[in-house]
Amino acid sequence: MTHHHDQEAFAKLVDRIGPDHAGQRMEMQAHYSALLLKGYHLHIHMEEFPAIAWLIKTLLKTTGLWPLAVKNTSQYRIVEHTVPIPHLPESFDGFRILHLSDLHIEGMIDKGQALQTALSTLRYDLCVMTGDFRFLTYGHYDKTLTLMESLVSTIHAPYGVTGILGNHDWLEMVPGLERCGIRMLLNEAQSLEKGSDAIWLLGLDDVHYYETGDLEKAIRLAPTDAVRILLVHSPEIIPEASIAGMDLYLCGHSHGGQICLPGSQPIITHCRCPRAYKAGPWEYQSMRGYTSRGVGTSLFPIRLFCFPEIIIHTLTRAPKS
């Protein structure tokens, strides 16, 4: 893909999402990058603080836990999560959604090979990816796109692969991710159809750092009486999504803590929400949700008392109350 074609693809993306959305995203990305170059950190990412990184690594190596923590990063847990929905069309009963989040793929010790092996044994209808494709929050992302292309080529989903951006991802990555075969939603909606029946995916831009997610815009694109599944990078707009009538809220961002105390109790999650919504399945009023512990890692390729997870959400028809 030539530089000219990249420019054309990005121009089409700006037309698609609107200049206000694109402008806000690009301005914040430029401002954030400038702060990093000057050594300032207004938004905390532990991987950008060498002293914290050194301390964690030293502690784990001193205690002898480092080799185990590294090994844990490729010990994927397959989670089966059933989602009962009263108004689910009968044709979608048993519909299976593969959920991957926080890949940070170039940071994987094997560049995604173990993940591909784990996925090869699974059956699903659709794959969704809830953001943070790359490891760092700035700089080049060519390696990310190369590795994502390899991963997506091994995903066999009849209804395709749909994704959203996270706080590690830049808007400029979208054309490349879509060339990899991922349909990216940026405050947009997508219908999934079986005959005359349909359910809808709504995907938001990042609500955590860039705050360019626009739930109201996405809602306008999908019928209010349809089953609506919301893809958000982080679990930080749960009340708003519930008020809007979402049926299922899928997210990640927290890594489940990544480095946890015994009993999988997270130390840090960087999520502005109650602890109950920071990992695993949850319910909020009539809306169900799941916060993925992620398949990748941040800071270092290590996990402690918190295994990476691959989730299969199975939609079922629930009895109407």
Indicate the DSSP class of residue 256.
Answer: G
More confident residue, 247 or 33: 247
* Arithmetic mean of pLDDT over the chain: 90
DSSP SS3 for 196: coil
User: What per-residue confidence (pLDDT) applies to 51?
Assistant: 60
89-119: pLDDT as tens digits: 999 999 999 999 999 999 999 999 999 999 9
80: phi > 0 → left, psi -120 to 50 → alpha, else beta; which? beta
**Residue 19 burial (CB < 10 Å; 0-12/13-18/19+)?**
exposed
117-172: pLDDT as tens digits: 999 999 999 999 999 999 988 888 999 999 999 999 999 999 999 999 999 999 99
